Amino acid sequence: MAYMHIGKDFTPPDVPGKVTGRIKYAEDYTREGMVYARLLTSPIPHARVVDIDASEALEMEGVLGMLTADDCYPDGEPQSTGLKMLTNEPTLVGEPILAIAAVDEKTAETAISKISVTFERLPFVLDPLDSLQPDGADAYNGGNTFVFRQGFAEEKWSSDQVASFRAGNEPTAEPQQTVAYGDLEASFSESSYVYEGTFTNAGYPHMSMEPRSALAYWEDGKLYLHGGSQSLTAFADGIAGVIGVPKEDLVFVNAATGGGFGQRARAGSIPVYGVPAKLSQKINRPVMMRVTREEEFTIGGARQGLTGWIKVGFKPDGVMAACDLWIVSDNGGKGGGADAYSAADCISVLYQADAVRFRGTAIGTNTAHRGAQRGPGQNQIAPIISPILDVAADELGISRFDIRKINTPMNGDVGGPQRTPFTSAYMPEALELAAEKFGWEERQSRRRQTNGSKVIGLGIGQGYHNAGRSGMDGIVMMGADGRLKVHNGVGNLGTYSYASTSRAAAEVLKMPWERVDIITGRTDLHLPITSPQDGSNSIFTNTRTFYGAAQDMLAKMKEIAANDLGGAVEDYDISNERVHQISDETVGMTFAEVAARGIEIGGKYTGSAELPEELAEWTQIAVSRLAGTGFMGVFHDPQHEGNPPGFTVTCIEIELDKETGKYEILDLINVAESGTIMHPKGMENQLVGGAVWGIGLSGYERHLYDPQNGMPASTGYWQSKVPTYLDTPVKIQTGWVDLPDPENPVGARGVGEPAQGSVSAALTAAITDALDGHIFGASPITADMIINHVAGTTENSVPLAQNNFRG
C-alpha cells in the first residue's frame, strides 16, 4: 500500500533537543525553594530495623526533615512483593530505609552519616537452590516464595533433590507451576536425537544511563512529579495509586527518558518517586532526589536469573518433537518476574514443538529486586536452545539453517501452551532474508576454519516476543488553525515510538507532518491511557488507538461537511487538508473550517457528548478537561484476536581465539519480521541496540553478590560488564521483511525485545560452533569459561549457583 507517512523516515520532534542538550530530563528541573533528598539504604541483605536515632542529623543546620517507613505506612508496611517506598524490613543490600531532606546534597549526605540505625540481622541467601535446602535461609519474612492470593510461603526440597539437580539431573521435586500440551512421552519416543542437560542464565541489572531521579512538589492540592519512565500515562496511572493521590490530582512530567528496558515501564521503582513525593508533602518544599549509580542498581531492578534443566527431542527429519523444561527462577529480594514461563512459551512459538511441558518454581534471594527486562524469559532461553538445535542438526545430518526452517512458525500456526494463533507470522521469510543478506550458505566453507589458535564460528539465532496489545484509548484534536494535535501518552523512552505511533493519525487524515503537533511530555496536557510501554507492544497497540481516533475525527468531518454542504457522508473524501465531495472537489471545507464548525456545534464534536463508554478513567479525565476546547476524535480500541508476534533472525560470524578465550565478531546481521515497518531509522536503531544487548547477554553481563556478606559486587558499569564499543562489530547490518499484519490498521507489530534474543542465540551458537559443538548451557559465556574448556581446567565453583560467576 502506498502510504504518505508509514514506512518513511522522519525527524522525531525531540531529536533537536537531544542533539543540542536542550531537552530536559528529570534532574534538569528546578523549583523555587527546592531541597534535596538522600537515602540511607540497608547495608545488610536481610534484617529488621530495631531503632533509628537521627537526633544529631535532624539538629544539623540545613537539614529539613526525615522520612521513614512509618511515615509512608502508618498502618504498617504491606506484606506483599515489590519494593516499598521505605522499609523497616529490608531484604536486600541497598533497600531504602529512610530519606533525609536538606538544603543541598552534601548536607543531606553528611546528615545520613550521623544517623544510627540498629538492625536485627536475619539469615540471608543468594542462591535459590541454597534456599530450597531443608535448612536453607528464606529471603523474605515469612518464606522464600510468594503465592498469588495467599502470600509468602516456604518451599523446600530434600538435600538429595538439590544435590541431584546441581549434578545435572532432572529435578524431582514438585513444581509450583506446570503447563503442558501434547503427548510428551510419545513425542520423545519418536525422537532420534535427544539432548538433556542443565543450564543457568545470569540475571543482570538494567543500568539505564539516566538514573531514576525525580523531583516532586505540591501546588494547589496537586502533586507535580518530574521523573523518567518508559511510559507516560500508564506510569502516572499506576504511581498515583502507589503514592495515594487521586489520578486527577497527579501531574507527571517526563519529556525524555535516558533508557528504559522493562523496569521503567510501570510504577515498580516505587522509592524514587514515592520518597520525594511524600517527603515534599511532609516538609512542604519541592524535593529533588537524585539517584546514584549504585542506587540505580538496587532500586532499578534486574533480569531474573534462571537455573534450569532442559530435554529436547528431535525426529529423524529434524522436527522438534518435544521439549521438557524445568526452571527454578531467582526472584531476588522483592519477588517478581515470570520469565521462566515465557521461556517455555518462546520455545513453543519459535520451534513449534509437538509437545511441550514447563515446570517452574520461583524462589527469592536477598539480591536486587527482579522484574521484566527486554525479552524476559524469551531472551534467556534463546542462547540456551540455539546451540541445542545446532548439535541436533549436526547429529541428524541436517543443515543448521534447515532445522530452523523445518521448525519455523508461519501463518496459520499457533504457539505457546495456550495454543494461540498468530495474527500473522512470516518467520520463513525472515530466515531466508537474513541468510541471503548474510551469505549464510557461502560462508559455510569457512566454518571451523583455523588460523593458528583462532577458529571461525558461525551462528544463526531467532528471537520472539509477543508484540502487541489492545484495549487502550486515543485522542486527536484540531483547532480552528486546522493543525492536527495527537494527544500521545505513550512516553518517550528513546525509541521515538511516541512519534511513530502518532503518524498513524496523520496517515488517516493525510496531514502533512509539519502540520501535526504531538502533545506529550506531561500529563496535564490531557493524554489518553496507553498500555505500559513494555513487551514490544507500543507500535501495534498505539497505532490502533491513534488510527481509530483519527478515523473518528474523519467521520465527524464528513458528517459536518455533509450536513453543511449537502449529500451523504459517503459522498465525501479528504485531500490536501480539505474534506470535499468526491464528485466535485470544489465543494468542501478546509480542515480549519470544519474544525471551527465542529467547535461551534459542540457536543460529540468537541468531546462533550457521545463518548465511547469503555474509555478508561484516565482518558475520561483527559477528555473531560479537553471537552469544548477543540474538535475532537476519540476512540476506545476493542480487543484484537490472536498473538501478534515480533520475530527476528540473526546471523553471526566470529573468530575465536582458543588461547585467550576472546572472540571478535566479524559480521552480524539482525533481521526483523514485525509487520509493516513504521519508521525505518527507528527500526534500525532497535535492531542495532538489540544486537549490543544480545552480545552482552551471551558474552558479558553478570550479577555478582558476595556469599559472605550478601553485598552486590556488580553495582556499576565496570563490574556488571555491559558490552563496550570494541566488543561489538564496527558495522551491524540490519534488514526487515515488511509484510503487513491484518490485526493492525497499518500492518505494524513491535520488535524491540526479540532484537536482543536472536543475537544472543546466534552468538552462543557461533561460540559453540567454534568449539566443535561444546554446549556450555549458560549465559553469559565468558573468556575464562572458554579458556577452561579448551585447557581442560575447572574452577572450584558451586554448580548452578546464581548471583555468582556462572549464573
Partner 1 sequence: MVATSHDVMPDIELYQPADEATALDLAARLGNEGWLLSGGQDTYGWLKDRNKTPAAMIELTQIDAWKGVKEIADGIEIGATTTLTEIANDPLIKSRYALLAKAASVVASPQIRNVGTLGGNLNQDARCWYYRRGLDCYRAGGNICYADSPEGLNREHALFGASRCVAVSPSDTAPALVALDATMVVSSASGQRLVPAQDYFVGPDRDIVNMTALNAGEILTAIRVPNTWANAEFYWEKVADRNVWDFALVSVAAVFRVSGNTIEDSRVACGAVECVPRRLETVENAIRGQQRSESTASSAGNLATDGARPLNYNHFKIPLMQNLVKRAIRG
Secondary structure of residue 767 in the 3-state scheme: helix
User: Given the complex with partner 1, which of 601 and 798 has the nearer CB atom?
Assistant: 798
State the amino acid at position 370 in one-letter form: R
Q: Interacting stretch for partner 1, rule CB under 8 A, among 26-34, 374-382, 465-473, 703-711?
A: 703-711
Pair 556, 562: CB distance under 8 Å: no
Asked whether position 5 contacts partner 1 by CB under 8 A, the answer is no
Asked whether position 784 contacts partner 1 by CB under 8 A, the answer is yes
Determine which helix (DSSP H) or strand (DSSP E) holds 636, and give its type and residue range. Answer: strand 631-636
Q: Interacting stretch for partner 1, rule CB under 8 A, among 478-486, 493-501, 593-601, 724-732?
A: 724-732
Candidates 287, 704, 737, 767; binder of partner 1 (CB under 8 A) is 704
C-beta neighbour count of 765 within 10 angstroms: 31
> How many Å from the N-terminal Cα to the C-terminal Cα in the chain?
48
Q: Interacting stretch for partner 1, rule CB under 8 A, among 194-202, 320-328, 398-406, 709-717?
A: 709-717
Asked whether position 434 contacts partner 1 by CB under 8 A, the answer is no
Asked whether position 708 contacts partner 1 by CB under 8 A, the answer is yes
Asked whether position 120 contacts partner 1 by CB under 8 A, the answer is no
Q: How far apart are alpha carbons 670 and 688 in whole angstroms? A: 8
User: Given the complex with partner 1, which of 295 and 390 has the nearer CB atom?
Assistant: 295
Pair 657, 453: CB distance under 8 Å: yes
- Residue 166: CB minimum distance to partner 1, A: 16
Asked whether position 725 contacts partner 1 by CB under 8 A, the answer is yes
What is the secondary structure of 291-303 as a DSSP string?
A: PPHHHHHHHH-BP
Q: How far apart are alpha carbons 509 and 740 in whole angstroms? A: 20
C-beta neighbour count of 51 within 10 angstroms: 9
Q: Total residues contacting partner 1 (rule CB under 8 A)?
A: 55
- Neighbouring C-alpha atoms within 13 Å toward the C-beta of 383: 31
- Least Cα distance to 87 among 333, 294, 370, 362 occurs for 333
Q: Interacting stretch for partner 1, rule CB under 8 A, among 159-167, 383-391, 505-513, 699-707?
A: 699-707
Q: How far apart are alpha carbons 284 and 286 in whole angstroms? A: 7
Q: What radius of gyration, in Å, describes the C-alpha atoms of the chain?
A: 27
Q: How far apart are alpha carbons 791 and 555 in whole angstroms? A: 72
Candidates 447, 711, 739, 742; binder of partner 1 (CB under 8 A) is 711
- Residue 161: CB minimum distance to partner 1, A: 23
Query: What is the β-pairing status of strands 193-201 and 320-330?
Result: unpaired
- Residue 767: CB minimum distance to partner 1, A: 15
**What are the cell numbers at 593?**
473550517
Asked whether position 513 contacts partner 1 by CB under 8 A, the answer is no
Query: What is the β-pairing status of strands 214-219 and 222-226?
Result: antiparallel
What Å distances lie between residue 432 and 91, 428, 691, 694, 721, CA to CA? Answer: 49, 6, 19, 21, 34
> What x-and-dash track marks residues 528-547 binding partner 1 by CB under 8 A?
--------------------
Say if residue 780 is preceded by a cis peptide, omega within 30 of 0: yes
Asked whether position 339 contacts partner 1 by CB under 8 A, the answer is no
Candidates 6, 112, 431, 509; binder of partner 1 (CB under 8 A) is 112
Pair 145, 155: CB distance under 8 Å: yes
Secondary structure of residue 186 in the 3-state scheme: helix
Structure letter (DSSP) for residue 375: S
Site residues for partner 1, 43-62, by CB under 8 A, read: 43-44
User: Given the complex with partner 1, which of 327 and 778 has the nearer CB atom?
Assistant: 778
Q: Interacting stretch for partner 1, rule CB under 8 A, among 129-137, 348-356, 577-585, 791-799?
A: 791-799
User: Given the complex with partner 1, which of 73 and 119 has the nearer CB atom?
Assistant: 119
Candidates 3, 587, 787, 799; binder of partner 1 (CB under 8 A) is 787
Candidates 332, 782, 800, 802; binder of partner 1 (CB under 8 A) is 782
Query: What is the β-pairing status of strands 645-657 and 454-466?
Result: antiparallel
User: Given the complex with partner 1, which of 467 and 763 has the nearer CB atom?
Assistant: 763
- Residue 701: CB minimum distance to partner 1, A: 10
Which residue(s) pair with 474 in the sheet?
A: 635
The alpha helices in 244-377, defined as continuous H runs, are 270-283, 293-300, 339-351
Asked whether position 522 contacts partner 1 by CB under 8 A, the answer is no
Pair 114, 60: CB distance under 8 Å: yes
Asked whether position 448 contacts partner 1 by CB under 8 A, the answer is no
Site residues for partner 1, 556-595, by CB under 8 A, read: none
Asked whether position 788 contacts partner 1 by CB under 8 A, the answer is yes
C-beta neighbour count of 698 within 10 angstroms: 32
Asked whether position 783 contacts partner 1 by CB under 8 A, the answer is yes
Asked whether position 444 contacts partner 1 by CB under 8 A, the answer is no
The alpha helices in 566-670, defined as continuous H runs, are 591-601, 617-626
Asked whether position 661 contacts partner 1 by CB under 8 A, the answer is yes
- Residue 776: CB minimum distance to partner 1, A: 14
- Residue 233: CB minimum distance to partner 1, A: 32
User: Given the complex with partner 1, which of 148 and 725 has the nearer CB atom?
Assistant: 725
Candidates 53, 219, 584, 659; binder of partner 1 (CB under 8 A) is 659
Site residues for partner 1, 269-328, by CB under 8 A, read: 292-295, 298
- Residue 730: CB minimum distance to partner 1, A: 12
The alpha helices in 118-232, defined as continuous H runs, are 128-132, 159-166, 184-189
- Least Cα distance to 347 among 306, 411, 421, 404 occurs for 404
Residue linked to cell 473550517: 593
Q: Interacting stretch for partner 1, rule CB under 8 A, among 474-482, 577-585, 656-664, 680-688?
A: 656-664
- Residue 785: CB minimum distance to partner 1, A: 8
Pair 544, 748: CB distance under 8 Å: no
User: Given the complex with partner 1, which of 89 and 534 has the nearer CB atom?
Assistant: 89
Asked whether position 723 contacts partner 1 by CB under 8 A, the answer is yes
Q: How far apart are alpha carbons 85 and 83 in whole angstroms? A: 7
Q: Interacting stretch for partner 1, rule CB under 8 A, among 5-13, 35-43, 136-144, 479-487?
A: 35-43
> What x-and-dash track marks residues 451-470 binding partner 1 by CB under 8 A?
--x-----------------
Asked whether position 94 contacts partner 1 by CB under 8 A, the answer is yes
Secondary structure of residue 209 in the 3-state scheme: coil
Tell me which residues touch partner 1 (CB under 8 A). 38, 41, 43-44, 93-94, 105-106, 109-110, 112-113, 292-295, 298, 453, 659-662, 700, 704, 706-709, 711, 713, 715, 717-719, 721, 723-727, 782-785, 787-788, 790-791, 793-797, 804-805
